[in-house]
Amino acid sequence: MRTLIQLMRWSGLSIRDAIGLDRTALSDTDELFLYRAKTDNPVYVPLPPDVAAALRNIPPGPKLNPRYFFWSGNGKLKSAVGNWQRSFGRVFELAEIKHADGTPKRCHPHMLRDTFAVECLLAGLPLEQVSMLLAHKSVKVTEKRYTPWVRARQQQLAMNVRRSWKSFPIPESGN
């Protein structure tokens, strides 16, 4: 479970793509290359060395399948995803994640994909590149969901607002 969480957090893969991840998708240089199930768009993303090592060291399960990391290959992938989603539910329940006001937060595996995207944007990656990493069909999809975290846009907006102050008088303090 820990390795799956790390994979999803550091790759931005959806749960379906992570569960159905073929071992051949991980290169010797710790990079993933696959086609996203939902869009059939290519995904190419490097993994931190410790995450790649954890993937390579996943012990074989009760039904060994040398092709996949997280799926036995038996039955439908959709069923395997459902099983892993229930496991995530239990992990989130045990973690007791709460909002700032103390109320329980509804958590789901897609939060790891969101974390990956937001961290990339906050680190200054262009929206277009994050869109490619997420294998969205269009940058508009990425833009709609993640624009608030695009650092360059935030900085540009702040600079433009400050520049606009020159066009009108700013009241002195105390008046």
The predicted model gives 2-19 an average pLDDT of 96
Which residue range is the domain that position 7 belongs to? 2-167
Tally of CA atoms within 13 A in the half-sphere of 146 that contains its CB: 30
- On average, the pLDDT of the chain sits at 89
User: Considering the domain boundaries, does residue 173 fall inside one?
Assistant: no
User: Considering the domain boundaries, does residue 172 fall inside one?
Assistant: no
- Weakest mean pLDDT among 37-41, 54-58, 65-69: 65-69
Q: pTM score, two decimals?
A: 0.81
Task: Report how far Cα 120 is from the mean position of its chain's Cα atoms.
Answer: 9
Q: Which long-range contacts (CB under 8 A, 24 or more apart) does 146-151 make?
A: 146/117, 146/118, 146/121, 149/117, 149/118, 149/121, 149/122, 150/121, 151/121, 151/122, 151/123, 151/124
Q: At what angle do helices 110-122 and 127-134 cross, to 10 degrees?
A: 150
The CATH number of residue 157's host domain is 1.10.443.10
User: Considering the domain boundaries, does residue 130 fall inside one?
Assistant: yes
Q: Contact, 38 vs 29, CB < 8 A?
A: no
Q: What would the pLDDT profile of 65-104 be if each residue is shown by its tens digit?
A: 788 999 988 889 999 999 999 999 999 999 999 989 999 8
Give the chain's domain count: 1
Single-letter residue type at 33: F
Given this model, what pLDDT does residue 143 score? 87
User: Considering the domain boundaries, does residue 175 fall inside one?
Assistant: no
User: Considering the domain boundaries, does residue 116 fall inside one?
Assistant: yes
